[in-house]
Structure 1
Amino acid sequence: MEENKKIILFDGVCNLCNGVVQFVIKRDKEDTFRFATLQSELGEKLTSERGIDTTKVDSIILIEPNIAYYTKSDAALQIGKNLKGYRTLSSFLYVFPKGLRDIIYDFIARNRYKWYGKKDACMIPTPELQAKFLS
């Protein structure tokens, strides 16, 4: 793994999650992020090392270069804070209580397959994007 890169763990079969990954890649001008699926060996290792229960958090997790991590709405807002043009919005949304933000996040996460669909297998990055994905 590359040092000083933030790792976004995502549900590799979720169309919404894959769309979010593509959104982040296009806007990650400072090359801050690397990606891995929650279903991968690395995803399982990173969540296990941090004691993250993936039965309760199964969509997007942000792993910092040290042991710190963010889940649910905190993960989404921390990712946004690293994307030019979304820093202000992410900072603004932090004024809302985490409990309220997570209720909305959980509602979307619970319905993501119904609304956006699901793949049979994890996405395979194009050769140009392969370096951003960890295995």
Structure 2
Amino acid sequence: MGILKKEVIIYDGICVLCNNIVRWIIRRDKDGLFLFSNLESEFIKKNFPNLNKINSVAVIQIDGKVIHKSNAVKHILNRLKKLFFIRIILNFSPLFLSNFFYDIVARIRYFLFGKYQSCPIIEIKKDKFIY
């Protein structure tokens, strides 16, 4: 995989919560910092096959390094400069603690928010997606 031109946010395409968060990020990404790809995409299968085994949001940085779980959330919020209070909590809490709470939400997200039968096409900003 060559060097990316933008960071890529990887998300669970069938997760209702994840899709809503992607829409939220797109609306706030005024500088075009991110592209998006779901875990089931051909891009991920071909270039990052190990990512389809994770149960987490991930960010593929421009240099190809992958960060996930609460580190990915913290990275996204810091880049967007949004949700100051949550950023402060994530920046100062120990990684094991923020990942603990991340894992709880990840485990119950389908129960709380539901899931799609297949990954829906997000109609806004289709050019921001890698399939």
Same fold by TM-score, threshold 0.5 exceeded?
A: yes
Distance of 2:126 and 2:39 partners within structure 1: 17
Q: How does 1:112-131 map to 2 (within 5 A)?
A: 112-126=109-123, 128-131=124-127
Show the counterpart of 1:133.
129
Identity of aligned residues (%): 32
Question: For structure 1, which runs of at least 5 residues remain unmatched after alignment?
Answer: none
Does residue 13 (structure 1) correspond to residue 14 (structure 2)? The answer is yes
Task: List structure 1 segments (4+ residues) > 4 angstroms apart after TM superposition.
Answer: none
Counterparts of residues 75-90 of structure 1 (less than 5 Å): 75-86=72-83, 89-90=86-87
State the alpha-carbon separation in 2 of the partners of residues 70 and 3 from structure 1: 15
Following the alignment from structure 1 to structure 2, what is the Cα–Cα distance between the partners of residues 40 and 93?
A: 29
- Which residue is 2:98 aligned to? 101
Q: TM-score, normalised by structure 2?
A: 0.88
The answer on whether the counterparts of 2:6 and 2:34 sit within 8 Å (CA) in structure 1 is yes
| 1-structure distance, mates of 2:68, 2:47 | 13
Match of 2:25 in 1: 24
Which structure 2 residue ranges, 5 or more long, are not aligned?
A: none
TM-score by length of structure 1 reads 0.86
- Alignment check: 8 A CA contact 1:35 1:134 kept: yes
Determine the structure 2 residue equivalent to 1:35: 36
Shift of 1:46: 3.7
2:97 aligned partner, one-letter code: L
**What CA distance in whole angstroms lies between the structure 2 residues aligned with 1:36 and 1:115?**
23
- Distance of 1:24 and 1:13 partners within structure 2: 17
Q: Secondary structure at the match of 1:105?
A: helix
- Structure 2 counterpart of 1:69: 66
Change (3 A) 1:79 1:42: same
Structure 1: how far apart are the matches of 2:6 and 2:84?
A: 18
Shift of 1:4: 2.5
The change in CA–CA distance for 1:106 and 1:114 in structure 2 (over 3 A counts) is same
